[in-house]
Structure 1
Amino acid sequence: MKHLRFFSILPTLLLCTAAFAQPKDSLRQSVTVGYEHYHFDKQFSNDWRIGSIEYKREAGKATYLGRFNYASRLGQTGWQAEVEGYPKLTSKIYAYVGAGYSPSMPVFPKWRSGGTLFFVLPKGWEAEGGVRHLYFNQHVWMGTAGISKYAGNWLLNVRSFIGSSTPGSNHSLFFTARHYLKNERDFVWMQLGSGISPDESRNVLIEKGAVLSSRRITAGAQLSVSRRYMLAPQVGWAFDEIGGGRKGNQFLGGLRVGYRFR
């Protein structure tokens, strides 16, 4: 939650971190558990709850992870399994590839996949381009493009997703600012967004056509409690147009707890 979820922003965070050299640290594996809670004042009568457990391994010039998600939403419960990779292809190009499966539509899309190439440019700039695919009862294809700028301890990113077919005629645009603290593992971030990203957990709303427009702000942090433990809280608010002239608020609270080891 690929999506407001931290899992929705997780690919962004991992991909941006990949631009840094791997830390000289022998702890290359981690296990992280997370929980997100969504409350809607009008759109849905029941709150959404999403839990996850994730294993990540940093291996040489690539990072790999597997994730299991379990959710209660849309009046049902279900699970999703995901795998993702973040390989460094050359000194100037790195990538994201990912795929997911769920037997639990409409709680999750049955299939999700995608890939992005990142190009390191002079003077702290990066460009990116890729594609996303979701399958519910029909295929949804979306292209993505973005640009990033590293400035001191700041990373600024603008990313857009555009779908060309119904129901994937969704257009979304996101601005993310991240400020690094003592190292590349510790940072605070804020995101302003318009629309729904296929990378976030609420991507099920793309297929349902339940949101005509969406504006949101989300903020969070990733903080080392010690060399081995990490906490990543987040909060968010969205204002959605949900059809029939109705508009509603959506509130998000989440927390991830990670443990690193050899």
Structure 2
Amino acid sequence: MIGSKRSNFVITLLLILGALFILFPLYLTITIAFKTPQEMAGNLLALPKNWSIQNFLDAIEMTNFFNAFRNSAFVTIFVVIFTVLTNSLVAYAIARNMHKKWYRGLYYYFVSAMFIPFPVIMLPIVKQTSAWGMDNLVGLIILYIIFNLSFNTFIYVGFIRKIPLELEEAAVMDGASTWQIFWKIIFPLLGPMNATVAILAGLGAWNDFLLPLVLLSEQDMATLPLVQYVFQSQFSTNYNLAFASYLMAILPMLIIYIFAQKWIISGVLRGSGK
């Protein structure tokens, strides 16, 4: 009994510490975004004396925020749609043919890509996409879909293999084609996994900095993470405007994640098993 209470106390303490590590940076981001430069010289942890939105207005003007927001939204929406459609198709073909050596090898090939750091392949990708004229938002979307394939194949295949083959055999007896079986039977059953994949793909595309940095060739194509550079100078950083811009950039995905986190956790757990 004493050991159980001690274990519960340790777990509770760790949870509290974990929450503080998450909430403290968020608290600083919000308070600094509303402070004036003069208030920054005082107590950093103190609340702003006057909650002014001027920092947000200045940040919007300096970063051309709405143009960057449109670029990020355009990339994210198309990445989510086509990632779900294409990655689920690939995973279905692999899952229903895992008994064949070629498909099994293809599965392990895709999964092994998860262990390759992006900086290793960064320069060849940049050179090749530039040669093909893909150093734009469309090329960025295509690369995100491809990069998502390895992890999504892993979780999709695990989930699809749990779906009884009898459902497909019955559909074949009724004269359904493979294409009809996937879209009318399998794809609706993939609802939890589709939600998980869509959320993770959306978060990744919205928040990514490195790939747009090395790929996009024009300033007008910059996404939200890229335009944060405007607050950096050689000797100092305008933290008030920078944090206001950061807050506006992360707010949409933060709201989505808060309401959709249960889909992410349950989807990964369902897809990780055989």
Which TM-score tier does this pair reach, normalised by the shorter chain? under 0.3
Bigger radius of gyration, 1 or 2?
2
Could you say which structure has the higher helix fraction? Answer: 2
Could you say which structure has the higher strand fraction? Answer: 1
TM-score where L is the length of structure 2? 0.24
Higher relative contact order (CA 8 A, sep 6+): 2
TM-score where L is the length of structure 1? 0.25
